[in-house]
Structure 1
Amino acid sequence: MITLNDVSFAYSKKKEVFSNLNLTLEPGSIYGLLGKNGAGKTTLLKMMCGLVAPYSGSCTTLGEKAARKSPSLMRELFFLPEEFYMPDMRINKFVSLNAPFYPAFDLNQFHRYLDEFEINPDNRLRSLSYGEKKKVMIGFGIATNTKLLLFDEPTNGLDIPSKRQFRRIMASIANEDKCIIISTHQVRDLETLIDHLVILHNNRILLNENVGVITQKLCFKTVQTVANDQGIIYSESSLKGHNILLKNAEQEDSQLDMELLFNGVQHCPEKINHLFNLN
């Protein structure tokens, strides 16, 4: 569905974002895109939908060169950036003007989402809070029923009940024909939703793996004391003792801790790279 081959990109000579980056994303998964500030998450999303083009290499989306932004491609993808402009009009008017660009848009579905988020479709967009605007755009984007959904920090600005509703709605629309990519820093908000992780680190992809494979190779634990002979890859103190990340030599069952994994990648990238790319 999305393929990047030897992609390099830089905003200036002093700010290289990607260097010979390769990545393939397939339908049927909800991808979590993680990385530190400036790692290139937003740039990568923009490249996938044709808003920026690689300096070298190629990016194809749904079988087409993304940078061409062909009508056939644009009607099958929806990108919600973290910051967006909302015109001064009623929600219903906004929908009537923009929904025709998406052949599979479902108005009844959109209104169901507005009901769940407790937003009146007669409200003016400019009168809404940032969180309410985000809910409108999330609902609109999902109701487009495109094959590809790209969300940049979708839970920013949402209250706790709305985050729960977002997770439930996203889980309900996931299917084998759809590819969903969510860039986020709010890993706790989406830990139970994401089934495939892509982690950017130092201009490259350090981890690109299904959650099931991650928990087969890594074990996530909380212990009272840390021993040197436990085969620990990374550890950090917590109120309950120490959260540890270690190679899953005993094939134990454990629940993915995305925050612990991400911190482990930042502090011990070579160990993570060796485990997933060389073993």
Structure 2
Amino acid sequence: MIEVNNITFSYPGTRRNIFRDFSLTLNKNNIYGLLGKNGTGKSTLLYLLSGMLRANRGEIKINGVDARIRRPDVMSEIFMVPEEFDLPPVSLDTYVKTNSKFYPRFNNEVLANCLKDFELSLSINLNELSMGQKKKVFMSFALAAGTSLLLMDEPTNGLDIPSKSQFRRVMANNMSDDRILIISTHQVHDVESLLDHILILSESNMMLNASTSEICKNYRFEFRSPSEMDNSVIYAEPTLQGNAVIAGREAGSPETQINLELLFNAVVKGIIR
């Protein structure tokens, strides 16, 4: 469990509080989607959860331990995949042998499965890879590390269309029940089929904190022609396919897949809370 208790945070030299008296609880066996406009603190929250940034006030507890302490046993349960990173000019095999020892539950079988799905091998040299390939390697290592908390910041940036499909398959096949995964992203359509829970952040406030099952229980996401627009429509946007609609879901009606972009816009405009 992760507990964020009344934290306040601002970057040194600035007066603006990214977070003020902000609280949040996250539970294991969930894939969270963290959404928000630029500057709302998505990446900052990930760095605070990882212990790489410290709140000015309040506390963050990872399984009951203050994240600021950065105890080795706590750090071995956290893995952060930032949006941008560098890898050393060594073979992947060397990188794994050097770094896997920091993670007690590192699983070489998981690594091999991830690399296979990403069409990569353990013998590749990291300095010869494109940025997209480096992301695949780093995400494979992150999943193999077996940490109870996995944080990913814009993981699909730099991936081509086939690679995004590979990413979804790799994530779905290698999540464990005792893990919390938080994906911060603007590329909502890349991850919407993976998520168990949606968090929408705005100016230090959580505008939406709801499970996907709860959202699907209450709303339908579909396309409608102008003649099909009725009082059940809660929010709509015109598209080339007709109106993209969020409507109230009636008891017994079939469940629909969430349109995250549509949901995000409806929440930001205050129509859904």
TM-score normalised according to structure 2 size: 0.92
| Letter paired with 2:159 | L
User: Tell me, what secondary structure is at the counterpart of 2:272?
Assistant: helix
User: Tell me, what secondary structure is at the counterpart of 1:236?
Assistant: strand
**Match for residue 43 of structure 1?**
44
* From 242, 266, 269, the counterpart of 2:268: 266
228-237 vs 64-73, which moves further: 228-237
**Match for residue 276 of structure 1?**
none
Identify if the C-alpha distance between structure 1 residues 233 and 16 changes in structure 2 by more than 3 Å, giving closer, same or farther.
Answer: farther
Q: CA deviation at 1:156?
A: 1.3
Contact 2:8 / 2:22 at 8 angstroms: preserved in 1?
yes
Aligned residues: 271
Identity %: 41
Identify if the C-alpha distance between structure 1 residues 221 and 89 changes in structure 2 by more than 3 Å, giving closer, same or farther.
Answer: same
Contact 1:49 / 1:61 at 8 angstroms: preserved in 2?
no
User: Tell me, what secondary structure is at the counterpart of 1:6?
Assistant: strand
Alignment map for 1:124-143 (pairs within 5 Å): 124-143=125-144
**Match for residue 109 of structure 1?**
110
Identify if the C-alpha distance between structure 1 residues 8 and 227 changes in structure 2 by more than 3 Å, giving closer, same or farther.
Answer: farther
Q: CA deviation at 1:158?
A: 1.7
| Letter paired with 1:82 | E
The CA RMSD measured in Å over matched residues stands at 1.9
Deviation readout 1:80-133 (Å, 9 max, x if unpaired): 101112112111111111110001112233133223222232222121100010
Structure-2 separation of matches of 1:211 and 1:254: 11
Alignment map for 1:1-279 (pairs within 5 Å): 1-11=1-11, 12-225=13-226, 230-248=231-249, 252=253, 253-267=255-269, 269=270, 271-273=271-273
TM-score normalised according to structure 1 size: 0.91
Q: CA deviation at 1:31?
A: 0.7
Structure-2 separation of matches of 1:44 and 1:226: 44
| Letter paired with 1:207 | L
Structure-1 separation of matches of 2:102 and 2:198: 31
Structure-2 separation of matches of 1:226 and 1:66: 54
Deviation readout 1:247-276 (Å, 9 max, x if unpaired): 436664332111100111122x2x323xxx
User: Tell me, what secondary structure is at the counterpart of 2:10?
Assistant: strand
User: Tell me, what secondary structure is at the counterpart of 1:23?
Assistant: strand
Contact 1:220 / 1:254 at 8 angstroms: preserved in 2?
yes
Contact 1:29 / 1:174 at 8 angstroms: preserved in 2?
no
Identify if the C-alpha distance between structure 1 residues 93 and 195 changes in structure 2 by more than 3 Å, giving closer, same or farther.
Answer: same
235-244 vs 215-224, which moves further: 215-224
Structure-2 separation of matches of 1:58 and 1:83: 27
Contact 2:87 / 2:126 at 8 angstroms: preserved in 1?
yes
**Match for residue 277 of structure 1?**
none
Identify if the C-alpha distance between structure 1 residues 249 and 116 changes in structure 2 by more than 3 Å, giving closer, same or farther.
Answer: closer
- Unpaired stretches in structure 2, ≥5 consecutive residues: none
Contact 1:226 / 1:242 at 8 angstroms: preserved in 2?
no
Structure-1 separation of matches of 2:161 and 2:83: 18
Structure-2 separation of matches of 1:203 and 1:105: 35
Deviation readout 1:207-228 (Å, 9 max, x if unpaired): 1111010112222231111788
